[in-house]
Amino acid sequence: MSLPDKAFPVSWDQFHRDARALAWRLAGLGQDFRAIVCITRGGLVPAAIISRELNIRLIETVCVASYHDYVNQGDFQLLKGITPELMVDGGQGVLVLDDLTDTGKTALEVRSLMPKAHFACVYAKPKGVPTVDTFVTEVSQDTWIYFPWDMGFTYQEPIAKGSKG
């Protein structure tokens, strides 16, 4: 398995700060969201943080699979759909959350189900930026983000290999 050269490890503390920054941006929109739909699995953690910060009690999931080998994005599979009540009016007033938009394929698929929902994510890559309404941090397309729920505590190689202590 060959991963991109640029690694961006994110700690729990950093992710929490970034998710709260997203909540501040969303609060600044002046929109009262009636519910959150989080795209699983990545959207679960930001949904927990943002639901608290914005006082949104109704949280739903849309369960999808697209990264089948953690490197190449495969076909989109809808494993669990969205509650019909939240799809009324095209999802108007619903906040759809994910951790990352990479190519934007997942966001576009979910947006086809809820075209009037507000799409937000914590991190975005250039190809995915046009598919979301709000995000916090943009990283290059060739960067692999290591989320805290995917990592253990291990030694990290320095960026400049062979550098002196």
- The binding site for GMP consists of 102-106, 144-145
Distances (CA, A) of 108 to 119, 135, 158: 10, 15, 36
Q: What does residue 150 show for φ and ψ, rounded to 5 degrees?
A: -105, 0
Burial class (CB in 10 A: 0-12, 13-18, 19+), 33: buried
Give the active site residue among 5, 69, 75, 99: 99
Annotated binding residues for xanthine, written as ranges, equal 102, 145
Q: Which of 102, 133, 142, 150 is catalytic?
A: 102
Q: Which residues are annotated as a binding site for 5-phospho-alpha-D-ribose 1-diphosphate?
A: 41-42, 98-106
Question: If DSSP codes are grouped into helix, strand and coil, which group holds residue 62?
Answer: strand
Query: CB of 38 within 8 A of CB of 98?
Result: yes
Let me know: does 10 contact 147? Beta carbons within 8 Å: yes
- Local structure of residue 157 (DSSP, 8 states): -
Residue carrying the six token digits 């799409």: 119
For the question of residue 98 being annotated catalytic, the response is: yes
Catalytic residue flag (residue 13): no
Mark the binding-site residues for guanine, compressed into ranges: 102, 145
How long is the chain? 165
Q: Annotated binding site: which residue ranges? A: 41-42, 98-106, 144-145
Catalytic residue, from 89, 98, 142, 150: name it: 98
Residue type, 31: Q
List the catalytic residues. Answer: 98-99, 102
